[in-house]
Amino acid sequence: MDKFVIEGGKPLKGEIRVSGSKNATLPILAATLLTDEPCEIKNVPKLRDTTTMLKLLKSLGKNVEVSKDRILISSNGTLNHVADYNLVSTMRGSFCVLGPLLAKLGKAKVSMPGGCIIGVRPVDLHMKGLLALGTKTTMEAGYVNAVAPKLKGAHVYLGGVFGSSVLATANVMMAAVLAHGQTVIESAACEPEIEDLGNFLSQMGAKIEGHGTPRITINGVRRLEGVSYRMSPDRIEAGTFILMAAATRSNITIRDVHLNQLSALVDKLNQVGVKVEKVRDGIHVKPGRNLKPVSMTTYPHPGFPTDLQAQYAALMSIVPGVSVITDKVFPDRFMHIPELNRMGAQIRREGGVAIIEGVKQLVGAPVMASDLRASAALVIAGLAAKGRTDIHRIYHLERGYEDLDKKLIGLGAKVWREKE
């Protein structure tokens, strides 16, 4: 197992390119189960999570060919309806095979999902939506057993305690495209990843309207076709690089960014004193000299993304003054706080709120990554800190950031890997 070693305290310069979206790729790969025809997916990031999803598709009976960032998925004639624990338990996104398996086979046996430990993440909204479409489900030995000989369109409300659910919306969408009749999903997730999935399904021949809005209407069709589709850039990776530039007081250019997907982040950074300007094929980040502390609350899209909360905390930890961060999506997502404090940050948690008293300088230290986005926050802190930072358990990083060390080296960062 490797660790990251960072010699921080120096500004970065140059340009960096954003990879394809991890959170959009996973449900789109799952959606290839809905057709027997070949599907070509391009601009796929090389990540632990995408590798896991491809292994899962193979275990379900799909043929998979990988060539650089291009993946060709085809059918060998027979699908398996059982999604194995050893794969699904490592990554929550793999649970989205449930909807397409039900739609295609009329039955599915899918292990309860795993992934990052960032708080309670139930699957009740998945079950609620699929139940409305005519699915009968039981729980047995950690598996969801679902049976639906004939899915029927229905009116489904997917609002939850902490708002809408991206994966639940994806699962219901994929089940509904082959259901008989019309399905209306109210309080659907509006994230760009759902818009990407809707675009992919539409190209396959699905009849979908409203994806990317709180109300999605789907008219079921009998079959879907194979397509060629290019993944959108990863907005969370782009946001991480923007916050990295701000924390290290660096002027860098970031290529392949859809800036309209990051409006909430850009708005906050404008208040902080960081300029994010659109340039050809990307954006340019220019931090001001005197940054100001700005409080922030996460919400479902188009609000500030919970997946950038930890990275924003890393920035605020070195902005003099007091800022307050509230996470309304995952109120327990603060496992990065003790590790940032090991580096000299002054952060205390009170329930679902983090209170940050900014310090002038962080100091490098050995730290432990607890989850994917916390790992990114520690990288940002390490780059901004004085001295050496050792980040352990970087397999979390490799779940969501493609070749991050190589990309940072391209910006002039002193980053390398060492064996644990």
pLDDT tens sequence across 162-183: 778 999 999 999 999 999 999 9
Q: What's the rounded mean pLDDT across residues 311-328?
A: 97
SS3 of residue 18 by DSSP: coil
Catalytic annotation present for 116: yes
234-237-101 Cα angle (round to 5): 45
Could you read off the pLDDT of 269-297 as tens digits, one per residue? 999 999 999 998 899 999 888 999 999 99
Region of residue 50 (left: phi > 0; alpha: psi -120 to 50; beta: else): alpha
Say if CB 341 and CB 369 are below 8 A apart. Answer: no
- Structure confidence at residue 301 (pLDDT): 95
Among 334, 315, 305, 368, which Cα is nearest to 21's?
305
Could you read off the pLDDT of 374-412 as tens digits, one per residue? 999 999 999 999 999 999 999 999 999 999 999 999 999
Does 3.40.50.2020 match the CATH number of domain 2-19+234-419?
Answer: no
Same fold for the pair 2-19+234-419 and 22-224: yes
The residues, any chain, with a CB within 8 Å of residue 16's CB and separated by 6 or more, are: 241, 252, 253, 254, 255, 407, 410, 411
Backbone angles phi, psi at 204, to 5 degrees: -75, -15
* Residues β-bridged to residue 278: 283
Say if CB 9 and CB 385 are below 8 A apart. Answer: yes
Catalytic residue among 39, 96, 116, 190: 116
Domain ranges of the chain: 2-19+234-419, 22-224
Average model confidence (pLDDT) across the chain? 94
- Structure confidence at residue 114 (pLDDT): 60
Whole-angstrom Cα Rg for the chain: 21
User: What's the Cα-to-Cα distance from 331 to each of 48, 161, 194, rounded to whole Å?
Assistant: 26, 11, 23
Among 93, 89, 68, 115, which Cα is nearest to 395's?
115
- Structure confidence at residue 271 (pLDDT): 97
Which of 16-35 are b and which e, b meaning 16 or more Cβ less than 10 Å from the residue's Cβ?
Answer: bbbbbbbbbbbbbbbbbbbb
Say if CB 190 and CB 214 are below 8 A apart. Answer: yes
Which percentage of the chain shows pLDDT scores above 90?
Answer: 86
22-224: CATH topology: UDP-n-acetylglucosamine1-carboxyvinyl-transferase; Chain (3.65.10)
